[in-house]
Chains A and B, each alone.
Chain A
Amino acid sequence: MYKFLLCMRYLRTRWIALASIVSVTLGVATLIVVNSVMEGFSTQMQERMHGILSDVVLETRSTMGIAQPGWYEERIRARLGDSVSGVTTVVTLPAMLTFQHNGNSHTSQINLIGIDQKTYASVSDFSKYLLHPENNERLDFVLKQSGYDPTRKHLQPSGWEYRQPLARYRKSSVDRLLEEAKTEEKRYQELQEKIQEQQEEGGNDTAINSLMAGPGIKIAGSTEPIKVFDAETEQRTGIVLGIGLGSLRRRDAEGRVDDYFFLRPGDDVQVTFPNAGTPPRGIDESFTVVDFYESKMSEYDSTFAFVPIEKLQHSRGMLDPRTGVGSVTSIQIKLKPGTDLNAARDALRDEFPPTHEFVEVRTWKDTQGPLLAAVQLETTILNILLFMIIAVAGFGILATFFMIVVEKTRDIGVLKSLGATGSGIATIFLGYGVLLGTVGAGIGLVCGLIFVWKINDIAKVIEWITGREVFDPTVYYFETIPTIIHPFMLVWVSIGAVLIAVLASVLPSIRAARMHPVEALRYE
């Protein structure tokens, strides 16, 4: 009873000891903030990566691809049974994107992905990251009239709303050219008549004929009109570009982050990719941008381009001439939640041994392994470092406690003369340690949680004070700092902090307990 009373009183009268606890508090708060932010980061990253990548991928590097995807699919389903929730076939290719902007041609390197519109949604949240709300529901590679994320002012207008005026303008310039061509035609006819006259006069001059041959003249001269692609009413095959391919992230005059779009839905682009021959030759196709894809993983957003798989199979010559079945380069599998990824992977590796079939089986974690491992390592090291800081703080507590025990020497002697046992006195100081640790950890917990809760506001304040960007969205592709608080982490961190305080008070308590009553009483 006296023990409790005394340690409460020591806590109340010796607030200064809280100063030593503050270091533990700060450590605890920092640990919570760091863990929450790291957790938020890696969770969001993993979620995105997982959303984009399917669970397990069967991939071949063969230029021809897997010739009988249906047969593979059957084997996969037979092997994995009920745990499969979706399978889709994909053609992925390294490719080159070319587009015109301000009269200049630009090229960039892309990962061209041919997807099966019917089944791709069953393995990936791909459509979730598209800008047009209708495409979020179901992607059909058809250009929409308008309505591409109205919140982005630099993206407006887009869709047909953008394509039609542009096409009209271009056509008007083409018309002018045709007008010129017509006067040319007149001149040609006159010439023709002259030639006929000459021919009638005698001699067939082929040299002049060949001189007169030219494409413009042929079109003009043909009786049956060649079907001309009308950009005002027609679109090419749709392509969905990663948003990084069509925009630049930058800051406007006021420092707000803004995307500038140099490509919009409605623009036509050229894509050059290898065909399936040996050696492969580059072929190029025109596509119409039908949407942008924004996963906020800059790596994906700046390289991915999606087109319908049939188009790629057709252009590359991947269709079996007899059956019409297309080859694919990879098969993506989504498993039911809770399925053991690695077990599924190993089963598939067993089913398709590399010695027989040239396919590689990987889980999405294998694909992103190094990145995930790096984030994990970072978190671990930060935790170790911060715990070191808390341990240092623990030594501070140790020193403070020793001082308090020395200061209380006489009182310890008095308590012993009143019949208090050594263990009783040790309990006072241990209890004091527990109490201080709890108070410190509690305050730290609250501070840490408030910090995490208000982290984006705090970042703004820090930005305002230092004038330096804390969290640069042009780098991270996140608008705000993502955080996730695990209750388990909170418990673990608080227990750790209290434990350090208790450990730090063990030695001083033992010293207090062992103190000789007479020497303690004589202590000045």
Chain B
Amino acid sequence: MNSTTSNNPTIGDSATFPQAPHVLHARTRVTPWRVVHPDEPLGSDRTDALDSETAVSTAGPIRASDSSRDLIIASGLTKAYRRHKTAVPVLKGVDFAAERGKITAIIGQSGSGKSTLLHLLGTLDRPDSGEIIFDGARIDSLPTRQQDRFRNRQLGMIFQFYHLLPELTLLENVLTPAMISYGALQYWRNGREIRERAKHLIEMVGLSHRMKHRPRELSGGEMQRTAIARALVTNPSLLLADEPTGNLDHETGSSILQLLRQLNEEHGLTIVMVTHDESIANQCDALVRLKGGKVERLEAQYWDALPSSI
């Protein structure tokens, strides 16, 4: 057993695993992420990044995070799924940052914890340790209600299997987040405005002629477009996408990607996208690879995109 684990000390190595969060925690304490000021010289972050690099030898080079530049920052995230007494560690200290107005891709093998990370970022689940900072405020430890509110107002989510509500029409599906956001009375008052926005979004995704249709009457690509419209109806600043093209053929997939790119360029929407498709990943602004429960390394593209001053 030892001989097999020694080949890959990060996966399933029970001896080294518990140390990782501990080390990361220590680093978290060194750097108070929340109070990082945009004007603060980047040097301090840089040294911090170097610290972590030395502390966690297996992790790739970690880019310094900055609340003014990055919309969402996760540091030292660990997550293990527990069933009875056995724990399945999935994330073992993930540091992640998504730059404002950019598309960040998360890639990795199946089972490497991409969806888990995305769920943590979207406050659908709580990390065992580590923290997540959105727009300068910590979100992972917020009370459930505030997290619900956060998801509703700030976040859009799309999934591989679209996850539209089968009972509702396309328009109603798109309106759902707005209906959740407003009380019945408020919705009644602002109904026209909200409807206008929903219709506008549906038009943008090119489905205005299917407004009254049920999801099961739509194709996969159309459903995903609907899901995108739904994600955007509350005008969020961050879009989390879990393999949005995973269930679609190449052509439809790239049209979805094109749509996302367009949203990103026209509205400055920050997108974090999990994907299996290397070609799609390569079109993104930044790339993060998960391996063995950690961020393996940053792709060269990311370094290209970095300001030359660093």
Residues of A bordering B, CB below 8 Å: 1-2, 4-6, 9-10, 12-13, 410-411, 413-422, 424, 516-518, 521
Name the segment of B51-59, B182-190, B295-303 touching the other chain.
B182-190
Q: Check B183–A1 contact: CB distance below 8 A.
A: yes
Binds A, one of B103-111, B149-157, B264-272: B149-157
Interface centre among A2, A10, A12 (most CB of B within 10 A): A2
Question: Chain A at the B interface: mostly helix, strand, loop or mixed?
Answer: helix
Are the CB atoms of A411 and B165 closer together than 8 Å?
yes
Residue from B119, B148, B149, B176 in contact with A2 in the complex, judged by beta carbons closer than 8 Å: B176
Complex CA gap A417/B161 in Å reads 14
8 contacts between A and B (CB under 8 A): A1-B182, A2-B180, A9-B168, A13-B167, A413-B163, A417-B124, A419-B149, A517-B119
Specify which chain B residues have a CB less than 8 angstroms from the CB of A6 in the assembled complex: 165, 167-168
Which residues on the A side are within 8 Å of B124 (C-beta)? 416-417, 517-518, 521
Which single residue of chain A is at the shortest CB-CB distance from B169?
A: A9
Residue B122 interfacial (CB < 8 Å): yes
* A417 CB, nearest partner CB in chain B, Å: 5
| Contact status B176-A418, CB under 8 Å | yes
When C-beta atoms are compared, the residue in chain B nearest to A519 turns out to be B125
B167 touches A419 (CB 8 A): no
Given A1-B183, A9-B167, A517-B124, answer yes or no on A422-B177 (Cβ-Cβ < 8 Å). no
Number of B positions contacting A (CB below 8 A)? 33
B177 touches A1 (CB 8 A): no
CB contacts between A and B, total, < 8 Å: 76
Residues 155-175 of B at the A interface (beta carbon under 8 Å): 155, 157, 159, 163-168, 172
B148 touches A416 (CB 8 A): yes
A420 vs B150: C-alpha distance when bound (angstroms): 11
The winner among B165, B172, B181 for most chain A CB atoms within 10 A is B165
Among B40-56, those with CB < 8 Å from A are: none
Query: Within 8 Å CB of B150, what residues of A?
Result: 419
**Given contacts A419-B152, A424-B180, are A414 and B165 in contact (CB under 8 A)?**
yes
Q: Are B181 and A419 in contact (CB under 8 A)?
A: yes
CB contact under 8 A between A417 and B122, given known A4-B184, A9-B167, A521-B159: yes
Alpha-carbon separation in the docked complex, A27 to B165 (Å) = 34
A13: chain B residues at CB < 8 Å are: 167
Residue of A nearest to B153 (CB): A419
- In the complex, A516→B183 CA distance in Å? 24
Query: Complex: how many Å from CA A12 to CA B169?
Result: 14
Looking at B159, B176, B181, B183, the one whose CB has the most chain A CB atoms below 10 A away is B176
Bound-state Cα–Cα, A312 to B130, Å: 107
Q: How far, in Å, is A72 (CB) from chain B's closest CB?
A: 73
Give the shortest distance, in Å, between B174 (CB) and chain A (any CB).
11
**Is B258 part of the contact surface with A, judged by Cβ < 8 Å?**
no
Q: Most chain-B Cβ atoms within 10 A of its Cβ — which of A418, A424, A517? A: A418
Distance of A2 Cα from B122 Cα, bound (Å): 21
- Residue from B125, B145, B164 in contact with A421 in the complex, judged by beta carbons closer than 8 Å: B145
Contact A10 to B167, CB < 8 A, known contacts A419-B149, A419-B151 = yes
- Interchain CA distance A176-B16 in the complex, whole Å: 138
Residue pair A415, B125 in contact (C-beta under 8 Å): no
- Pairwise interchain contact B177-A419, C-beta atoms closer than 8 A: yes
A5-B172 contact, Cβ under 8 Å, with A418-B177, A419-B180: yes
Known: A9-B168, A411-B165, A521-B163. A418 touches B119 (CB 8 A): no
Interface pair A415/B168, CB less than 8 Å apart: no
B280 close to A (CB within 8 Å) = no
- Residues in B with CB closer than 8 Å to A410 are 163
Q: Quick check: is B144 within 8 A (CB to CB) of the other chain?
A: yes
